[in-house]
């Protein structure tokens, strides 16, 4: 298969699964790392076509990393209704299961990537997912509960935040990361706020670089 994106549909996880839509991109190689990319808050216009999400997928492709960006339940052509927590976490688990089943995916190099609300969802599903690492871009620590996240997660973790993020101030993120064991990496995007307009490519390169720095 070429590394062009293709439209896919798959089932969420959980006791009451719904059908979700996504965009899958697989590299032209026999074995490769893979990552799901979770989008921002659905009630504030977040979709899998968000510019940060799309650019992250493009930068992953440039490094030979498979990606699946998808719409949470109730967004676009994904079935169901927004839940605000458990439902979207089940969606991420379903996306991971679907991506994991693709031929060529290196099961030891599965990652969860999320932006804003999607970062929070990614952190929530990390503890019980067999993944190599989680990358949280601008997790909204000021508005969503984060106590206990990653408590049982032993994989790699990376946090990317803008220096003027109004929902994830750098000092708050550093305080949260300090409670983790191991703490993980923090990368700061200068001259940007939570929406990262104009800095999408920089963010995408940081995300892809974190994954490939481990080596393939």
Spell out the domains of the chain, with CATH numbers in brackets.
6-212 (3.40.50.1820)
Q: How far is residue 27 from each of residues 10, 32, 81, 144, measured CA to CA in Å? A: 20, 7, 32, 35
Task: Summarize the confidence of residues 32-61 as an average pLDDT.
Answer: 98
Q: Rounded to whole angstroms, how far apart are CA atoms 213 and 216?
A: 8
Q: Is residue 129 pLDDT above 80, yes or no?
A: no
Cβ atoms < 10 Å from Cβ of 17: 17
Q: What was the pLDDT predicted at 18?
A: 98
Q: Rounded to whole angstroms, how far apart are CA atoms 19 and 23?
A: 14
3-state secondary structure of 176: helix
Q: What was the pLDDT predicted at 214?
A: 66
Indicate the average pLDDT of the chain.
Answer: 95
Q: How far is residue 168 from each of residues 51, 55, 146, 199, measured CA to CA in Å? A: 19, 21, 12, 16
Is the pTM higher than 0.85? yes
pLDDT band at 1; cut points 50, 70, 90:
very low
């Amino acid at each position: 298969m070429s590394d062009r994106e293709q439209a896919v549909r798959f089932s969420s996880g959980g006791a009451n699964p719904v059908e979700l839509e996504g965009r899958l991109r697989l590299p032209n190689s026999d074995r490769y790392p893979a990552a799901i990319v979770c989008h921002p808050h659905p009630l504030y216009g977040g979709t899998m076509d968000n510019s940060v999400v799309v650019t992250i997928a493009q930068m992953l492709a440039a490094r030979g990393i498979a990606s699946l960006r998808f719409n949470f339940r109730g967004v676009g052509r994904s079935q169901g209704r927004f839940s605000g927590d458990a439902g979207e976490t089940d969606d991420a688990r379903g996306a991971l299961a679907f991506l994991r089943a693709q031929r060529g995916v290196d099961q030891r190099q599965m990652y969860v990537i999320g932006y804003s609300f999607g970062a929070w969802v990614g952190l929530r599903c990390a503890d019980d997912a067999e993944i190599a690492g989680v990358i949280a871009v601008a997790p909204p620590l000021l508005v969503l509960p984060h106590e206990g996240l990653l408590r049982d997660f032993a994989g790699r973790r990376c946090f990317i935040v803008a220096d003027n993020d109004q929902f994830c101030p750098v000092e708050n993120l550093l305080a949260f990361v300090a409670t983790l064991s191991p703490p993980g990496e923090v990368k700061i995007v200068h001259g940007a706020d939570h929406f990262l307009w104009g800095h999408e490519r920089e963010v995408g390169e940081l995300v892809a670089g974190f994954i490939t720095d481990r080596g393939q």
